[in-house]
Amino acid sequence: MTAENKAFQKVTESTATNPIQGNPYGPNPSDFLSNVANFQLIDSTLREGEQFANSYFSTEKKIEIAKALDDFGVDYIELTSPVASEQSRKDCEAICKLGLKAKILTHIRCHMDDAKVAVETGVDGVDVVIGTSKFLRQYSHGKDMNYIAKSAIEVIEFVKSKGIEIRFSSEDSFRSDLVDLLNIYKTVSKIGVNRIGIADTVGCANPRQVYELVRTLKSVVNCDIECHFHNDTGCAIANAYTALEAGAKLIDVCVLGIGERNGIVPIGGLMARMIVADPDYVKSKYKLPKLRDLENLVADAVEVNIPFNNPITGFCAFTHKAGIHAKAILANPSTYEILDPHDFGMKRYIHFANRLTGWNAIKSRVDQLNLSLTDAEVKIVTTKIKKMGDIRPLNIDDVDSIIKEYHGEINTPTLVPKMTKSDEEPLDLSDEPAAKKVKL
């Protein structure tokens, strides 16, 4: 086989197994800096998530959440600073003793007082953060870049001396001076941190800015890059994906994206984004069917509902409605789905009780009811359903009644009836689904 033929075959094979790879707009496999196929998750539900307005986690609840995160497969679990409160310190120690697979981190200010407490808790690593934008330098901690560099060196060397991981992050990175950022990151990278972090603390960044900053940082540091994106302007997941494309390795996430204000990158939404880019990596690394339970656990703990439009677990995330969509989905789900619900232990539905429905969806319902109609008959009954749907909202019983009534009409002999055994037997509908949908 010639080299040309081999190349052709390779493209064909990958296109067959993963249609996105044949997409000219998809990830560029020759981009060796990209970490799209090699990313890690730092879950911060028990740190950033504790800053969500509704959050209160008892020790037991924190342990339950930490175990569920570990079971899902996150790489790191980040906990509230042990100096935030006495119980926070005890909880941190308790979680460190659980013996989870995920590494345990705690998140502290760039100060020796905090660092001394943090290293005694039993964590695998310490995440240090300090504000670098002029807003935070002036109105938060009041320190200049020289002071920041000095205290960063002191804290990093101290944590390293204890043999545990250290990450240094600026805060409000996207409103910080680029020269200041490059200087501080060069300094900490030379001392030998495990990771540097950038944080879009106010959620102002867009993907292009993220790409440029991460690419620039890649050329000045020789450690991993972690990114933290707030979602104030709805860009958190897109920014996270772009950061990975640019060469960042780790993304901070929270279950349901909970955090300060409207939160950060949601773990579920990021899974949806990443499984499209690299299905094999995502499916082998994370227990995706556990996502729904994980989200329900946290939603209950902080007393919120799962949003209707949540990626993957929103109640209509895999519900198809328009007749044109339903027809194509019934023929091949990939026509209108980029995510396969079964990868997440979910099911797909056709919503047929509405005026946008089409005869293919109704035919599938007729089959479910174990009735027999020709295509021409299904088309007639579909017209009846659509007419009723123009008058008022429909539910599944309305549609089933119309179908059964029509089926009854066309099967009722007009002349002298000759009863057969099967005519006497009522249709058994005892296992009808209650929802307004057909499960597929």
Tell the smallest beta-carbon distance from residue 228 to ligand LYS (Å): 4
Decide which of Zn ion, ligand LYS, none touches 129; Cβ closer than 5 to 8 Å per partner kind: ligand LYS
First-last CA distance in the chain: 43
Residue range at the interface with ligand LYS (CB under 6 A); choices 197-205, 327-335, 348-356, 399-407: 197-205
Decide which of ligand LYS, Zn ion, none touches 438; Cβ closer than 5 to 8 Å per partner kind: none
- Binding status of residue 199 toward ligand LYS by CB under 6 A: yes
Q: In 3-state terms, what secondary structure has residue 83? A: coil
Taking a C-beta distance cutoff of 8 angstroms, is the pair 79, 91 a contact?
yes
- Binding status of residue 169 toward ligand LYS by CB under 6 A: yes
Tell the smallest beta-carbon distance from residue 175 to ligand LYS (Å): 11
By beta-carbon proximity to ligand LYS, the closer residue of 127 and 180 is: 127
State the DSSP code for 194. S
- Binding status of residue 197 toward ligand LYS by CB under 6 A: yes
CA 47 – CA 81 distance, rounded (Å): 8
Decide which of Zn ion, ligand LYS, none touches 43; Cβ closer than 5 to 8 Å per partner kind: none
Tell the smallest beta-carbon distance from residue 365 to ligand LYS (Å): 49
Cα-Cα-Cα-Cα dihedral sign, residues 80, 85, 90, 91: negative
Residue range at the interface with Zn ion (CB under 5 A); choices 47-55, 160-168, 304-312, 413-421: 47-55
Which helix H or strand E contains 41, and what residues bound it? strand 40-43
Q: By rule CB under 6 A, what string of x and - marks binding of each residue 250-289 to ligand LYS?
A: --x-------------------------------------
Any idea which residue has 């003793």 for tokens?
97
Tell the smallest beta-carbon distance from residue 121 to ligand LYS (Å): 18
CA 237 – CA 256 distance, rounded (Å): 12
- Binding status of residue 43 toward ligand LYS by CB under 6 A: no
Q: What would the DSSP string read from start to end of 267-333? A: HHHHHHHHHHH-HHHHHHHS-GGGHHHHHHHHHHHTT-PPPTT-TTTSTTTTEE-SHHHHHHHHH-G
Tell the smallest beta-carbon distance from residue 198 to ligand LYS (Å): 8
* Catalytic residue chosen out of the listed positions 325, 342, 351, 407: 325
C-alpha triplet 223, 226, 232: angle, nearest 5°: 155
By beta-carbon proximity to Zn ion, the closer residue of 148 and 265 is: 265
Q: How many helices (H) and strands (E) does the chain have?
A: 17, 11
Q: In 3-state terms, what secondary structure has residue 308? A: coil
Parallel, antiparallel or unpaired: strands 125-131 and 103-109: parallel
Q: Spell out where 279-385 has E strands.
A: 319-320, 349-351
For 20-44, b where at least 16 C-beta lie within 10 A, e where not — what string?
Answer: bbeeeeebeeeeeebbbeebbbbbb
Size of the site for ligand LYS (CB under 6 A): 11
Tell the smallest beta-carbon distance from residue 324 to ligand LYS (Å): 43
Q: In 3-state terms, what secondary structure has residue 15? A: helix
Q: Could you say which residues in the range 129-148 bind ligand LYS, by CB under 6 A?
A: 129
* Residue, CB closest to Zn ion: 48
Residue range at the interface with ligand LYS (CB under 6 A); choices 178-186, 195-203, 238-246, 365-373: 195-203
CA 187 – CA 155 distance, rounded (Å): 13
By beta-carbon proximity to ligand LYS, the closer residue of 149 and 440 is: 149
Q: By rule CB under 6 A, what string of x and - marks binding of each residue 46-65 to ligand LYS?
A: --x-----------------
The sheet carrying 349-351 orders its strands as 319-320, 349-351, 437-439
CA distances from 363 to 326, 369, 391, 403, 428 (A): 11, 10, 22, 10, 19
325 among known catalytic residues = yes
State the DSSP code for 338. S
Residue range at the interface with ligand LYS (CB under 6 A); choices 13-21, 196-204, 269-277, 278-286: 196-204
Decide which of Zn ion, ligand LYS, none touches 171; Cβ closer than 5 to 8 Å per partner kind: ligand LYS
Q: Which of 61, 228, 273, 348 binds ligand LYS (CB under 6 A)?
A: 228
Footprint on this chain of ligand LYS (rule: CB under 6 A): 48, 127, 129, 169, 171, 197, 199, 201, 228, 230, 252
**Which residues are marked as active site?**
325
